Structure 1
Amino acid sequence: MREVGVRGAGPATYRCDRQVADVEDLRDHLGLDRVDLLAHSAAGDLALLYAARYPRRIRTHTLITARARALGVDFTEAHRREAAALRTAEPWFGAAYDARERIRAGSDADADWDAIAPFFYGRWDAAAQAHAASEVAQTHDEAAEIYASSGAFAPEAARAAVAGLDARVLLLAGEVDSGPLPRIAADIAKLIPRAELVVQPGAGHYPWLDDPRRFTRTVATFLGQEPGGPAV
């Protein structure tokens, strides 16, 4: 059994493709033949690269409002605007949209970044606000900068690899999320043979906060379609 964590030798290892072997080390350390792999947001890139490199180690693949730059698919500014247009009736929309425009013009003011937080949630309630308030303490700016840096992705190769993936895959998108929009999540699903797309009504980028029961039921139902196997 290999040790876990020996590959973490400085900032260069933060790049997404360089973390794939760490996931494999963890699987091996746990003594699992196959895993149920669940990833959210930018971690979708890492999960897809793992599936491309180790397809026989995947039992199921659950991608929650996940990015797919690894496959050459990503959200754009136009997608952000499309999703924002769905929120015009929200009481916070005016202030959030103005802050968003200032950020696009180059603002890095904390107040502007705080003001756009509601766009990422289906409901801007107490749970969402508490979640947003915890973000800064959990953010590693250097790692975020390196994670998707040049050389991290080879989309053509990854797409060819996942085209042969035999594992079942769930893509769960939020109805009002922009990263990815539901129709972009549908494009991602088309690249994976056994992919199933579920769009959670009223959900943003954190669907487990917007409707915990629906989210849990969706994921549990998907995982329960096959017996056994712990999730990683």
Structure 2
Amino acid sequence: MPTFTAPDGTHLAYHVRGEGEPLVVVPGGPMRASVYLEDLGGLTAHRRLVLLDLRGTGDSAVPTDPATYRCDHMVDDVEALRAHMGLEHMDLLAHSAGGSLAILYAARYPARVRRLVLVHANGSALGLRNTAEDRLAAARLRAREPWFDKAFPALEAWLTGESDFDPACAPFFFGRWDATAEAHDAATEEQTNEEAEGRYFSDGAFDPDATRAALAGLTAPVLVQAGELDGGPRPELARRAADAFPNAEFEVQPGAGHYPWLDDPERFVRRVVAFLDR
């Protein structure tokens, strides 16, 4: 397992899978170990994935200062990984909450980004936050699913603050609620650093106006993907995120929840590879 050292001395790990040109991958969660990404639906057949374990997750060390779990503090961890790999610039893919980290990286180090893929990315860095109604509207699209009548009241109670998260809500995050989705969901708690999760989006992490201004100078192509059934972000919110980049394209994957490489791996891989190989 390869490691490198962050600017503050924290030892960070990454996992290499597949062959070919490197694609650096930033996981979401927030603060979930990169193992949940697996091979991204078979993307390893086309690219060498460099899966970063963010500080305090997976095989990476816990930092001395827990304040460094805040999203903006980890931008230089990504830059340290690029330098460690000896890349002049890199292709970067980020999922979910990792999208805000990748957006901040692109704003701070635009010359280091060759291509950027944002997979169902959290847009907090751009001032675009999911709302409870966003998630409920997406959830209502699943009204014909056999689990809906039990899951929807639990989701509504969680989003309105009436109760804690109920595992009954889990099917809403997947395009298909099957054995693969259940196993993926069951590993979430074990793979997530809960303390770090609580600090990731803490006050001061984002300055959307400054980030948008910095991204105006980004020349790299950007692919912003959303899922038809995903509530975080819904396609319209993801489309607005794409508008923040000078050279972006936007796509909605039909039938996809929050993990598109599980819902339709062939389509997901085909689209990402076509974008990266231009």
With normalisation by structure 1, the TM-score equals 0.92
Task: Determine the C-alpha separation between the residues in 2 that align with 1:113 and 1:139.
Answer: 17
2:189 aligns with one of 132, 136, 144: 136
Within 1, Cα distance between the matches of 2:127 and 2:277?
30
Q: Cα RMSD (Å) of the superposition?
A: 1.1
Matches within 5 A, 1:46-195: 46-103=101-158, 104-108=160-164, 113-195=166-248
Runs of 4+ in structure 1 deviating by more than 6 angstroms, as ranges, are none
CA deviation after TM superposition for structure 1 residue 74, in Å = 1.4
Rounded Cα–Cα distance in structure 1 between residues aligned with 2:277 and 2:69: 33
Question: Which residues of structure 2 form unaligned runs of 5+?
Answer: 11-62
Q: Distance in 2 between matches of 1:113 and 1:138?
A: 18
CA distance in 2: counterparts of 1:45 and 1:85, whole angstroms: 27
Normalized per residue, which structure has more helix? Answer: 1
Worse-superposed segment, 3-12 or 158-167 = 3-12
Q: Which residue of 2 aligns with 1:229?
A: none
- Which AA in structure 1 matches 2:209? E
Q: Which amino acid aligns with 2:121?
A: A
Q: What secondary structure sits across from 2:166 in the alignment? A: helix
SS in 2 for 1:116: helix
Relative to structure 1, the CA distance from residue 10 to residue 90 in structure 2 (aligned partners, 3 Å threshold; closer, same or farther) is same
How many residues align structurally? 220
2:5 corresponds to which residue? 4
Identify which of 230, 240, 260 aligns with 1:207.
260
Residues in 2 aligned to 1:101 and 1:147: alpha-carbon distance in whole angstroms? 24
Counterparts of 1:145 and 1:118 in 2: how far apart (Å)?
A: 23
Contact 2:232-2:258 within 8 A present in 1 as well: yes
Aligned to 1:228: none
Distance in 1 separating the partners of 2:255 and 2:266: 13
Letter of the structure 2 residue corresponding to residue 29 of structure 1:
H
Residues in 2 aligned to 1:41 and 1:105: alpha-carbon distance in whole angstroms: 22
Question: Deviation at 1:105?
Answer: 4.0
The percentage of aligned residue pairs carrying the same residue is 55
Residue identity matched to 2:258: H
> Which of the residues 34, 54, 78 maps onto 1:23?
78
Structure possessing the higher relative contact order (Cα contacts under 8 Å, 6 or more residues apart):
1
Aligned to 1:216: 269
Q: Distance in 2 between matches of 1:169 and 1:85?
A: 30
Post-superposition CA distance 1:86-112 (Å, at most 9, x none): 11011000100121133234322xxx5
- With 96-105 and 62-71 compared, the bigger mean Cα shift is at 96-105
Deviation (angstroms), 1:126? 1.1
Query: For the residues of structure 2 that align with 1:55 and 1:9, how far apart are their CA atoms?
Result: 29
Q: Quote the Cα distance in structure 2 between the aligned partners of 1:90 and 1:65.
A: 22
Query: Which residue, out of 198, 210, 214, partners 2:251?
Result: 198
Q: Which runs of 5+ in 1 are unaligned?
A: 226-232
In structure 2, what is the Cα distance between the partners aligned to 1:198 and 1:74?
Answer: 19
